[in-house]
Amino acid sequence: MKIDRYVPALPGLILTLAGRVVHAQTAPAEAPPATAAIASASEGTSRTGTRAVVTLAGYVEALYQWNFNRPSNGITNFRGFDNRHNTFTLSNVVLDATGTLGPVSVRLALQVGSTPETYYLAEPDRGGAGGAGASNFDVWKFVQQGVVAWRAPLGRGLLVEAGVFLSPIGPEGMAVKDQWNWSRSNLFFGLPFYHTGMRASYGLTDALTLSVAGYNGWNSVVDNNDEKSVSAALDYVVTDRVTFHALYFGGVERAPDAPERRGSTPWRHVLDGYLAVYPRPWLSLMLHGNVGAEPNAFGTSWWAAGALYARVRLRPWLYLAARGDFFHEAAARDAAGTASNIFWPTSWVSSGTATLDARPHDNASVRLEYRHDAAGGPTYFRGAVATDPMTRAFVPNARSQDTLTLGMTTWF
């Protein structure tokens, strides 16, 4: 999801299809964050007779990172996609194709690299049978998005979509080129990356768009339980310099055998919102907040999180961005025990990030980023890292970590 309105629109490929030359374009970079997801999904759905229009896009992300904790296992923990110390990393290679024929369209974004290994980390493992294959991490990790869509001729146009979507929760997205920082906030990493299901979007006015959806759940192409999740969102373009997004997401996300479900149905409620303000052509600001609660067998687990973003254009080709975030989580507990944490192994995490972004070309970004992470208990790794003798998992031994990342991304 784009959060920079002042990067010029990116040229796409020129394709010859059905005897027709088509100049393919990516979504306009000046689209405000509150409407970018809808603009991206509906792009190219105007009627074109019987001739198909295909748009190709893609990007590559590579980085080198130094973790000042110098962990022996080489892991920068709980950082999403920039998580390896002292190594050059091909983070993600993405090829994104959109095909449109009249009011019908299809989009498929494929990915390969270290990023998908984290992106699908929570995907449920559902076994197969003699006549049905298994569904798990390995099956889906190369698919970033896969969406079929139809714009129904109702009123202003009702967009109906089905497939695997990027999560509508929060303003940050998958492509580094569309973000102000290289790394993502703790809110982005803790909250879901993707959903599978169906959604409908309708422009109530030129400025206000309503979206409703039904999904399998959080980070699950195939659900881990029988219950489904629902969401409703409003995107409001207040002015050309102010946009607002508000969303409710609810559903049961615990597995059927989870202790938290004993004698209860732990429906998880999420309220999410962000406000983007562009007071000057060289200055962009954004505030993101997220709160949630889950009544379960042990009581009510809850969380509250927030992030503040700022970006300054120092030169036409040079940007400086800063971000601070805080995420607090409280697990329900009673005499019978304590609910397992939803997000973190501790009660809170936070980070502060500064990113210098140089654009030597309209389709290239080189970024130098310093980040400090902190947590309420051992969450990260430092020095010699021990392993648990039973599970063989690495044992966190640090409450903070500092990193320096040099990354480059190009796109078409």
Please report the pLDDT score of residue 127 as a whole number: 85
In a domain, 70, yes or no: yes
Distance CA(39)–CA(43), nearest Å, equals 6
Amino acid occupying residue 43: E
Backbone angles phi, psi at 260, to 5 degrees: -65, -15
Please report the pLDDT score of residue 48 as a whole number: 45
Whether residue 278 contacts residue 5, with contact meaning beta carbons closer than 8 Å, is answered with yes
Distance CA(265)–CA(20), nearest Å, equals 55
Q: Which CATH number do you get for residue 309?
A: 2.40.160.10
In a domain, 6, yes or no: no
Please report the pLDDT score of residue 42 as a whole number: 39
The gap between the terminal CA atoms of the chain, to the nearest Å, is 16
Structure tokens belonging to residue 59: 């990007």
Please report the pLDDT score of residue 49 as a whole number: 52
Q: Which residues of the chain have pLDDT under 70?
A: 1-49
In a domain, 2, yes or no: no
In a domain, 131, yes or no: yes
Q: Domain range for residue 28?
A: 11-411
Please report the pLDDT score of residue 267 as a whole number: 97
In a domain, 5, yes or no: no
In a domain, 201, yes or no: yes
In a domain, 3, yes or no: no
Please give the torsion angle defined by the CA atoms of residues 378, 382, 386 and 390, in that order, rounded to the nearest 10 degrees: 40
In a domain, 222, yes or no: yes
Please report the pLDDT score of residue 137 as a whole number: 87
Distance CA(160)–CA(150), nearest Å, equals 5
Please report the pLDDT score of residue 93 as a whole number: 98
| Global pTM value | 0.87
Distance CA(285)–CA(309), nearest Å, equals 6
Q: How many CB atoms lie within 10 A of CB 201?
A: 22
Amino acid occupying residue 221: V
At which residue do the structure tokens 């896009």 appear? 57
Q: How many domains does the chain have?
A: 1
